[in-house]
Structure 1
Amino acid sequence: MVWRAKNVRQEVEGLLLALERQAREAVGLAERAQRDMDDDRFASYGDFRRKVEEVRALVALTEDRLRAYVGEKLDDLRTEFERMDLLLTVMLVKATRNYFATMKDDQVLPIGARELFEPELRNLEETRAKLAQPRFQGQVPDTVLAELEETVGMIGKIIARAPSLPDFSDAPAAPKPVRRLRTLGRPIRT
């Protein structure tokens, strides 16, 4: 039992360290995406989003591990995880808000921007639901909740003017070839 508790503790500590490292990388990518916005480049936003998804997956994994070891003495790590989870959530909300706040109203958006930004709204809705949970009551500053609402509004306006990917699903089927390929190699008789 002592070996198992020590092993579980080391695993959770490793996950918390990885979370911290991934969060720092996400912040760096958010800053780069914000700088690239001035040059109308959107590729670095994709890098930021991928890193955020990695952070979210790591949060879910850590939460799952902590939930699986209820009997273990990991209360200090649970407390640290909850603190870090709240900090990461707030940090990602601010980074997302800063990114979309730098987008100009007249900025030309690439084709497919709608599909790029729609998942962001879903993520923010999930974040809103997460911050409304009883465990976060009183811990989330009102300014963060206001920034979250403001970001949802900004993204909604951007999506409304963003071009979507072309839909080729209603296009008619390609015409059938007139000649078979085997007859194309025959010499023409005159």
Structure 2
Amino acid sequence: MVWRRGYSRSEIQELLSAIERQAAEAVRLADRAQRDIGHDRFSSFLDFRRKVEEVRALLTLTEERLGGINGARLSDLRSEFERMDLLLMGMMARATRGYFASMREDQVLPIGARELFEPELRVIDQTRERLGRPQYEGRVLPMVLEDLEATSEMIRKTINRAPALPDFSDSPSPPRPVKRLRTLGRPIRQ
């Protein structure tokens, strides 16, 4: 038996307010990241991504809580959530596109940039999937889909020219424990 707590209207409103606050902070961080890319600083992008993940977590939590409530009881909050969700996905898509668009073709990328930007492709795919849900049918602005597509292409180009983290392993597979145990007893050369 699964026990499900009923959530009050004020709790859902509190979550929606928290989403708005976090989204405003994400926009501020996106602007900073876009300015910093001109100076070859990538740490601002990490701050932006962390904030986006916080917003996404709040969206997921709010959606879960709305799903556990009688449909007629809080339909106005559900429609407000959907409106906000669409707005935020569009805003994040535009901010991410702006960041990658401001990156120069000849810009030197730090080691590990590939691993930094690869998760962005997954986020874009998840956003497309989310926008394809039935409740958003006909409500998604074409500009948002264009932003996602253009950003995906820019990220792929960036990843193709970005250096990966170095591989310091001796072999493609990790050593077996038996081999390590045999070498433990060997004296260290001086």
Question: Is 1:178 aligned to residue 189 of structure 2?
Answer: yes
Residues 1-190 of structure 1 correspond to what in structure 2 (within 5 A)? 8-70=8-70, 73-170=73-170, 177-178=188-189
Partner of residue 187, structure 1: none
For residues 21 and 55 of structure 2, the distance between their equivalents in structure 1, rounded to whole angstroms, comes to: 9
Query: TM-score by structure 1 length?
Result: 0.87
Alpha-carbon displacement from aligned partner over 1:30-73 (angstroms, at most 9, x marks no partner) = 00000001100000000000000000000000000000113561
Q: Secondary structure at the match of 2:8?
A: helix
Deviates more, 1:58-67 or 1:136-145: 136-145
Cα 1:176–1:124 shift into 2, 3 Å: farther
Q: What is the deviation of 1:136?
A: 1.3
Query: TM-score by structure 2 length?
Result: 0.87
* Bigger Rg over Cα: 1
Q: What is the deviation of 1:134?
A: 1.9
Q: Secondary structure at the match of 2:29?
A: helix
For residues 104 and 187 of structure 2, the distance between their equivalents in structure 1, rounded to whole angstroms, comes to: 47
How many residues align? The count is 175
Cα 1:126–1:176 shift into 2, 3 Å: farther
Deviates more, 1:157-166 or 1:137-146: 137-146
Partner of residue 186, structure 1: none
Q: CA RMSD in A?
A: 2.0
Task: List runs of 5+ in structure 1 lacking aligned partners.
Answer: 180-190
Structure 1 stretches of 4+ with a deviation exceeding 4 A read 171-176
